[in-house]
Amino acid sequence: MTQPKRKLMSTSMSDKLFDGTNIVVMCIILIVTLYPFLNVLAISFNDSHDTVRGGLTIYPRAFTLKNYETIFAYQGLITGFYMSVLRTVVGTLFGLISGSMLAFVLARADFQARKFVSTFLALTMYVSGGLIPVYMLMRDLNLMNSFWVYVLPGLVSAFNVFVIRSFIDGLPFALQESAKIDGANDFTIYWRVILPLCKPVLATIALFLAVGQWNSWFDTYLYNGSSPSLTTLQYELTKVLQSTTNSADFRGKNITELVTSVSPESIKMAITIVVSLPILIIYPFLQRYFVKGMTLGAVKS
Amino acid sequence: MEAITNHNKKPGGLKRNSFLYKMLQQKYLYLMSIPFVIWVFVFSYLPIWGWTMAFQKFRPARSFWDQDWVGFKHFVDLFSDDRFFLVMRNTLAMSFMGLVANFTIPILFAVLLNELRHQVFKRFVQTVSYLPHFVSWVVVAGIVTKMLSIDGGVVNQMLMGLNLIDKPIQFMGEPHYFWSIVTASDIWKEMGWTTIIYLAAITGIDPEQYEAARVDGAGRWRQIWHITLPGIRTTISILLIMSIGHLIQIGFEKQFLLGNPLVIDYSEVLDLYALNNGITQNRYSFGTAISIFNSVVSIILLFVANGIFKRVTKESIM
């Protein structure tokens, strides 16, 4: 990002006022964004009986680890953690392979069926069968109460394919031609030549896929709600959070029923932290990748 | 499959330019794409076949050929259901509120971010602003509910502290607040993320323009008004037009997670309406009719959006 050199000019009074106000506005935005997370963090480490008194801000008044001990003793959360990790890893891996393979094929201008495959794929961005027909299809395919319902429906994303393709388009085609002269077939070119060069765009797509997998709860609710062994962290959190407001709508037992000795509030907040922490730790390191990826996607689509 | 086993042999008898010859040459490209084409067919196109359910008295146990056909009965039911109009009102209201909020606040934020002189501070604000995008709606709904709660929620505490209210407001239980809560939560979650595109567009503006403006004595506000905003006008209009196509596809996650029985008359949107009828009450055919309505309106809106887009830019987004 090139910033115009402003220091050369003398800053006027109104410009100084502008800068001051701007910094104040930015600080307010920082507070509004961060305060809720810090508040949740404080409550999660606070003694549950003390929490009921209210008035907690950004530090725990009576520090304790008991809330975390309680939730980690709950089987649903352990299973949920395992499932969330598994679906994130498998879903991201499958998504990367399918996305990059299709992108590679569609980036080949000489491919006979390119126009057809490309249109066939692009249409899925605009037309969808809708909630109920998809639900019935999953039932007919025996994907209810199965791990694969987390991975298969979202396997090919047209958007991801087009983002990766526009990246491959930017690579010199001579690379592919020289590999071809050396006797490599198209699959080898994809695997040995193109894939290693796609690392930056694949990092972006991997982040999008992983975040999507980690954060989804609705598929668990809709398809696997009656299989405790397939529960996910987000779904467990949904159950706990909705237990006070919307309990009639939810299936199964929740933690607050199981552990009555602890304030539900602290438990909720502890689970919230456990659920969000992995992604919050990772994302700042991938910032340059997703900023590039977003920009690339926006320009091309 | 024969193509693989024979791949060392010269495909004798075929002319070098014939379709089949080329097909054999590109067998790997075919093998790498056909599985996914089949996949797309199954998971994206087969559900459209499921639309036939809307014209049947669908019974899950029967095969397609044994279903009773009822014509447009479910659509007639849909358009004569009072609930449907309530749901459309909610969907469009939240959609428009989201549209207005998303095309003012993130743009303003991007412009202000761009004006920050201190690069480290700017980077820090940006990184923090992306944070809520990465947590799930489940978490955001939990946080919003907590912040707005009557016992210890920061919003009520602040309002009480400023003596603006006498007793805490039950935000989540008040139907009239629901649309605003959804819109505000959306902005809180996605504002920073949305700025990425605008900041990229601002970066593309020629720095010399600012230089020239300063020589002419233009202050910061005038530079924003006459250079930055016009510089990202194209980006704004493209995104605005594209969002028309998604007017009624606003999703249901926020409404599902933030809603509760007290506010249901303001929180139920089209997808939730389909979910409640189609799956909770097993009215599959009626639920499918809602889905079809949703898809058809979206496609019409998309064509409208594309039409406007063509007029404006002489290009097509489809």
| pLDDT tops 70 at residue A9 | no
Would you call A295 and B125 a contact, using CB atoms and an 8 Å cutoff? Answer: no
Region A85-90 average pLDDT: 96
Region A202-225 average pLDDT: 92
Per-residue pLDDT tens over the stretch A26-47: 999 999 999 999 999 999 998 8
Per-residue pLDDT tens over the stretch B203-258: 888 888 888 988 888 888 888 999 999 888 888 888 888 888 788 888 899 999 99
User: pTM here?
Assistant: 0.86
Instruction: Judge whether A16 and B110 are in contact, CB under 8 Å.
Output: no
Determine, yes or no, domain membership for A61: no
| pLDDT tops 50 at residue B300 | yes
A21 at interface of B, judged by CB pairs closer than 8 A: no
Integer angstrom CA distances of residue B77 from A272, B72, B197, B289, B297: 42, 9, 43, 10, 18
Would you call A132 and B115 a contact, using CB atoms and an 8 Å cutoff? Answer: no
Which CATH number belongs to the domain containing residue A167 in this structure?
Answer: 1.10.3720.10
pLDDT at B190: 93
Residue range of the domain that includes A214: 66-297
Residue B224's nearest CA partner among A299, A292, A22 is: A22
Q: Is the domain of A71 the same as that of A153?
A: yes
Residue A241's pLDDT band (boundaries 50, 70, 90)?
A: confident
| pLDDT tops 60 at residue A6 | no
pLDDT at B13: 57
Q: Is the domain of A139 the same as that of A287?
A: yes
- Nearest by CB to B138, from A130, A241, A295: name it: A241
Residue A74's nearest CA partner among A286, A274, A291 is: A274
What's chain A's average pLDDT? 84
C-alpha span between A36 and B153 (Å, rounded): 10
Residue B186's pLDDT band (boundaries 50, 70, 90)?
A: very high
Determine, yes or no, domain membership for A58: no
Q: How far is A130 from chain B (nearest CA, A)?
A: 5
- Tally the domains of chain A: 2
C-alpha span between A164 and B254 (Å, rounded): 30
Amino acid type, A213: Q
Q: Is the domain of A16 the same as that of A101?
A: no
Per-residue pLDDT tens over the stretch B302-318: 888 888 878 877 666 55
Most confident by average pLDDT, B18-22, B56-60, B168-172: B168-172
Q: What proportions of chain B, in percent to the nearest 5, are helix, strand and coil?
A: 75, 0, 25
| pLDDT tops 70 at residue A82 | yes
Terminal alpha carbon distance of chain A: 23
Q: Is the domain of A86 the same as that of A235?
A: yes
Q: Is the domain of A124 the same as that of A265?
A: yes
Region B271-286 average pLDDT: 89
> How many CB atoms neighbour CB B126 within 10 A?
19
C-alpha span between B293 and A247 (Å, rounded): 30
Residue A72's pLDDT band (boundaries 50, 70, 90)?
A: confident
Chain A residue nearest residue B197, CA to CA: A295
Region A104-125 average pLDDT: 91
Would you call A217 and B138 a contact, using CB atoms and an 8 Å cutoff? Answer: yes
| pLDDT tops 90 at residue A183 | no
> How many CB atoms neighbour CB A278 within 10 A?
17
pLDDT at B2: 40
Q: Is the domain of A16 the same as that of A90?
A: no
**What secondary structure, in 3-state letters, does A5-44 show?**
CCCCCCCCHHHHHHHHHHHHHHHHHHHHHHHHHHHHHHHH
Region B135-156 average pLDDT: 90
Q: Is the domain of A38 the same as that of A159?
A: no
Would you call B36 and A29 a contact, using CB atoms and an 8 Å cutoff? Answer: no
| pLDDT tops 50 at residue A167 | yes
Chain B residue nearest residue A22, CA to CA: B112
Would you call B39 and A121 a contact, using CB atoms and an 8 Å cutoff? Answer: no
> Of all helices (H) and strands (E), which one includes residue A2?
none
| pLDDT tops 80 at residue A54 | no
Would you call B172 and A245 a contact, using CB atoms and an 8 Å cutoff? Answer: yes
Tell me the residue length of chain A: 301
Selected residues 90-149 of chain A with any CB under 8 Å from a CB in chain B? 98, 101-102, 104-106, 108, 110-113, 117, 120-121, 124, 126-137, 139, 141
Residue B96's pLDDT band (boundaries 50, 70, 90)?
A: very high
Any idea what the Cα angle at residue A12 is, between residues A6 and A14, rounded to 5°? 110
Instruction: Please report the domains of chain B, with CATH numbers, ordered by start residue.
Output: 1-28 (no CATH), 72-312 (1.10.3720.10)
Determine, yes or no, domain membership for A257: yes
Q: Is the domain of A10 the same as that of A156?
A: no
C-alpha span between B201 and B195 (Å, rounded): 10
C-alpha span between B78 and B82 (Å, rounded): 9
Determine, yes or no, domain membership for A57: no
C-alpha span between A231 and A225 (Å, rounded): 7
pLDDT at A187: 92
